[in-house]
Amino acid sequence: MRANPFISPLDDLIVGFDKALRVVGGVASASRANPAANTVDCELDEREQRHSAGLMRVNHVGEVCAQALYDSQARHAQSPGMRAQFEQAGREEEDHLAWTAQRLSELGSQPSVLNPLWYAGAYAMGTIAAKLGDARSLGFVVETERQVEAHLNSHLETLPAGDAKSRAIVEQMRQDEIAHGDAAQSLGAAEMPVPVKLAMRAMSKVMTTTAYYL
């Protein structure tokens, strides 16, 4: 189901393709101020800088996937209310995309070269979840956000002690992800079957391990 009934299928396809190109191309704008804007940067040694960059690249990939997931789930949502919920969450996640991209640049690094692959895979997963119905789609969001929160908690533990800028960004992202998961739960999310949760964790492990380096 398309978000706007007055947009033709071809126009809708073009809009979606344009968004995908902007996301994988690193074009994102934040509607909120960067939480690290007023944080004093510190000098990191080469090892610390490389580690921070690896973690922020993982987080950036996660936000590329979030854009794909929320866009696909919004497009295939079964009710206008669900569509609006996914679109709002996607806009908030775009802040994260912009913040992590900026931090990567400050660390002298770059986004994952595999972003087109991550985006395509996440879009396909979001579409499948949406086709199973709004309750399953919301359940997919809840489980995804739980796993993202766990990743962000681990990043807060392993980021260099002096990297206050990255830490400020990750902490705000963590709070937002918790809120997104809670919102999806309150809207009637269905619990994901255990095999699906395990499969999601396995795919997440592949993504995070690869994105740290590439």
Residue 113: CB atoms within 10 Å: 10
d(CA 7, CA 15) in angstroms, rounded, equals 10
At residue 167, φ and ψ (nearest 5 deg) are: -65, -40
145 is in an annotated binding site: yes
Burial bucket for residue 186 (CB in 10 Å: 0-12, 13-18, 19+)? exposed
96 is in an annotated binding site: yes
DSSP secondary structure, 12-39, as one string: HHHHHHHHHHHHHTT----SS--TTTTS
63 is in an annotated binding site: yes
The owner of tokens 């080469």 is 46
93 is in an annotated binding site: yes
d(CA 96, CA 198) in angstroms, rounded, equals 26
180 is in an annotated binding site: yes
User: Binding site: which residues?
Assistant: 63, 93, 96, 145, 177, 180
User: Binding site for Fe cation: which residues?
Assistant: 63, 93, 96, 145, 177, 180
